[in-house]
Homo-oligomer: A and B are copies of this chain.
């Protein structure tokens, strides 16, 4: 456009302020383009563009051959449109909503993601720029049901590096790993089925299983994976249909599956006809990759899923499912029925980011930064008597025990009032046996205020 953007904005602001002051009440016909141009001493095209933009925002409306009219009034954004509600009960969705809805001034050591400036924003910008310019970018059409073949091929190569054999036709792209598990639950669960989860486990698994009317049963976690004796008992007692777990870096404990535990688990699952969903979203944090259940099992009873929300971007939704070919076909039908297309643009941007040679360097820097943050957080929390259950090899989470007798939910409620979102243990625990635990995200623990708020709140509770 040839017109100066400042002039267009001046016209827009002039009109907008006359509408706000009710000089132009709703229904008023605006001055003609020509008349206003003359009054303001601007060109006709400047005023036309300003009117068009106001019409695009539905502030004014064009009537064929009769000019522009002021639309009905619309209240400005209210606080309730933006602010989280603080009055909810503490349940799995409490943490999600408090963390997702928090304003920029809130401190979020309880949230499950990295600060913006730890993510691969440079790569995202490059990817968007290149998509905006690309001639054959498919910016407007639906993706194919299984999703961008080139991204599936790259994912196949990435999984091969973890010894998982998953050809592209056995991979289905999803919008996130949460959607991936949701589709799997739709395919494999009946209401009332029992699903095994780790205790503690990612709290949203509880919310998701509740939405499927499934009964979750927790398996106690050990530093090398789930307790296999408890696993065996649960198989016998509950005849579960699914088991959902993280092998790489377990959320929230940071535990890492050992080959021994992996082998035992798979033997037990196999004899019980149990299907395992292995959620691998923390893969890119790992320094020495843990064994993967999907590698041992050859994608026969294990379904392997993941996404890049933790290391590339959570703003652009893109996850995946690797599974048996017949399941992938049925999952594809379910994806069409419940979401129609996938996000083609998200997949293209993710492909571009992951094959950008900078991503590997970003990950190296990120792992170092996380290791340093982990060390600092352990020391700072230690001074408050908050002790990690284990110090993980990698990743962002520290699963910590509070001083004896202190209730984590009470601390979380009190800290929220002081602008600090914490993740109290029982939202992770099916058996509600983690009331003395908090999960900390070390990457979100850089601000001194977190520790002063915690210290004050702990001494009031003691």
Contact = CB atoms under 8 A, between A and B. Distances in A.
A407 interface: no
A204 B100 CA distance: 32
Contacts of A72: 160
A357 B52 contact: yes
A236 B53 CA distance: 49
- The residue in A59, A101, A144, A355 that gathers the most chain B C-beta atoms within 10 A of its C-beta is A144
A125 B116 contact: no
B345 A315 contact: yes
B56 A359 contact: yes
A156 B58 CA distance: 9
Interface residues of A, number: 99
Contact of A75 (B140, B167, B175): B167
A385 B314 CA distance: 52
B58 A169 contact: no
Interface string A337-358: 1111111111000000011110
Contacts of A378: none
Q: How many copies does the complex hold?
A: 2
A211 interface: yes
Q: Is the interface of A mostly helix, strand, loop or mixed?
A: helix
Interface string A119-161: 1110011101101110000111111111001101110111011
Contact of A339 (B121, B144, B179): B179
A20 to B, nearest CB: 14
A314 B157 contact: no
Interface in A357-400: 357, 359-361
- The residue in A58, A96, A129 that gathers the most chain B C-beta atoms within 10 A of its C-beta is A58
Nearest 7 pairs of A and B residues by beta carbon: A52-B357, A58-B157, A119-B140, A207-B337, A128-B132, A315-B344, A129-B132
Given A93-B333, A315-B344, 7 more contacts: A71-B161, A81-B149, A124-B140, A140-B313, A211-B338, A315-B343, A315-B345
